[in-house]
A and B are shown apart, each in its own frame.
Chain A
Amino acid sequence: MTGSWLGRVAAGAPAQVFPLVGRGARRHVRDLLGRDEIDLVASPRHATVLLMAGQIPVAWDGFTDRVHDQLPHPRIVVHAPWDPGDLVEDLVAAHHAVMTGTTASTPPRGPATAPVDWKGVGPHGQGGEGMMGGTPYGRPMAMTGEDLRDGLQLDLVGVRIGPFLAWWWPPGLLLDLRFQGDLIVKAEVADARPFAQTLDDAKHMGGTTPPTPAEIVTDTLGAVGHQSLAQRWLACAGPAQRSGLAGRIRRSVAGFSPGTGRSDVDGRDLRQRMTEWVRLATIDTPTSPSTPLDDPPPLSGAAAVGHLPVLLAGLTWREAAVTIASLGLDLSEPGPGTAPDVDDAVSATALEAPG
Chain B
Amino acid sequence: MLSAFTAMVAATGSVVLVGLLIQHHRSLLSPDLQTWSERAPVLGGAEVGVHAWNRFHVRYYPMVLVFIAFEMEMMFMYPWAVVFVEEGLKALVEMGMFLTILSVGIIYAWREHALRWQ
Does A277 interact with chain B (Cβ within 8 Å)?
no
Judged by a CB distance under 8 angstroms, whether A54 is at the interface is no
Judge whether A159 is part of the interface by a CB distance below 8 angstroms: yes
- Stretch of A8-16, A134-142, A215-223, A292-300 with 4 or more beta carbons under 8 angstroms from chain B: A134-142
Question: Footprint of B on A, CB under 8 Å?
Answer: 20, 43-45, 60, 62-67, 69-70, 72-73, 105, 108-114, 131, 135-137, 139-142, 147, 152, 154-155, 157-166, 169, 174, 180-182
Q: Which of B32, B44, B49, B51 contacts A67 (CB 8 A)?
A: B44
How far is A163 from B50 in the complex, measured between Cα atoms in Å? 18
Cβ contacts under 8 Å, A113 to chain B: 35-36
Which residues of B approach A to under 8 Å, CB–CB?
32, 35-38, 40, 42-57, 59
Select one of B36, B46, B47, B55 contacting A112, CB under 8 A: B36
28 A-B contact pairs sorted by A residue (CB < 8 Å):
A45-B42, A62-B45, A65-B37, A66-B46, A66-B47, A69-B35, A69-B40, A72-B38, A73-B32, A108-B37, A108-B38, A109-B37, A112-B36, A139-B48, A142-B50, A142-B51, A142-B55, A147-B57, A152-B57, A155-B55, A155-B56, A158-B50, A160-B46, A161-B43, A165-B44, A180-B56, A181-B56, A181-B59
**B35 in contact with A67 (CB, 8 Å):** no
Give the complex CA separation of A29 and B37 in angstroms: 26
7 more A-B contacts (CB under 8 A) besides A66-B46, A66-B47?
A20-B45, A69-B38, A111-B37, A141-B54, A169-B44, A180-B56, A182-B56
- Cα-based distance from A112 to B43 in the complex (angstroms): 19
How many inter-chain residue pairs (CB < 8 Å) link A and B?
115
B51 touches A140 (CB 8 A): yes
In the assembly, what is the distance between CA of A174 and CA of B32, in Å?
31
How far, in Å, is A273 (CB) from chain B's closest CB? 23
- In the assembly, what is the distance between CA of A73 and CA of B30, in Å? 11
Q: Compute how far the CA of A163 lies from the CA of B46 in the bound complex, rounded to whole angstroms.
A: 7
CA–CA, A66 and B52, complex, Å: 18
Residue ID in chain B nearest A66 by CB atoms: B45
Q: Tell which of B35, B37, B49 has the most Cβ of chain A within 10 Å.
A: B37
With A108-B35, A111-B35, A181-B56 as known contacts, state yes or no: A139 contacts B43, CB within 8 Å: no
**List of A residues within 8 angstroms of B47 by Cβ:** 62, 66, 160
Q: How far is it, in angstroms, between the C-alpha of A108 and the C-alpha of B45 when the chains are bound?
A: 14
Q: How far is the CA of A62 from the CA of B45 in the complex (A)?
A: 8
A142: chain B residues at CB < 8 Å are: 50-51, 53-55
How near does chain B come to A180, taking the closest CB pair, in angstroms? Answer: 7
**Nearest Cβ distance between residue A107 and chain B, in whole angstroms?**
9
Pair B45/A64 contact, Cβ less than 8 Å:
yes
B51 near A158 (CB under 8 angstroms)?
no
**With A163-B44, A165-B44, A174-B46 known to touch, is A112 a contact of B37 (CB < 8 Å)?**
yes
**B6 CB, min distance to chain A CBs, angstroms:** 40
Residue of B nearest to A166 (CB): B44
Could you tell me the distance in whole angstroms from the C-beta of B64 to the nearest C-beta in chain A? 16
Q: Are B50 and A140 in contact (CB under 8 A)?
A: yes
| CB <8 Å contact, A131 and B53 | yes
A160 adjacent to B56 (CB under 8 Å): no
Q: Which residue of A lies closest to B51 (CB)?
A: A139
Contact with A70, one of B38, B53, B57 (Cβ below 8 angstroms): B38
B49 and A159 within 8 A (CB): yes
Please determine whether B56 and A154 come into contact, CB atoms closer than 8 angstroms: yes
Q: List residues of chain B with CB within 8 A of the CB of A43.
A: 42
Find the residue from A66, A109, A141 having the highest chain B CB count within 10 A.
A66
What CA separation (Å) do A201 and B42 show in the bound complex? Answer: 34
